[in-house]
Amino acid sequence: MEPARELFGLTGLRAGTRERVPIRTRGSGATTSAWRLEIVADQGTGAIVLVEVSPQESHCRGEGLFFGWPPERLAAVHDALRPRSDEPGFDLPQLG
């Protein structure tokens, strides 16, 4: 868990690790996967599930403390609390 933060009126926010989870959507009969980020705050616990439909389109869904939050607010909290890697990004050298 990372150090506690304050966002959107919630205090003591701490995020756990992101994990890949299986999901099913109404529009598809297939099982796919999404990212689930568990979050603990002084006001309670919850999670934000991020479904990446394509590189340009993603959707967030709130659980527990975040149930019913608007998608834009969920995305902002997820982006602010998402664990960052200390490793440099994957970079392919340009050949030719």
- The CA distance from 80 to 60, in Å, is 14
**Nearest alpha carbon to residue 17 among 42, 47, 44:** 47
- Average pLDDT of the chain, as a whole number: 84
* Percentage of the residues of the chain whose pLDDT score is greater than 70: 82
The model carries a pTM of 0.77
What residue segments make up the domains of the chain, in order of their start? 5-24+31-81
Q: Which residues contact 25 (CB under 8 A, 6 or more apart)?
A: 32, 51
- Checking if the pLDDT of 89 tops 60, the result is no
Amino acid in the structure at residue 20: R
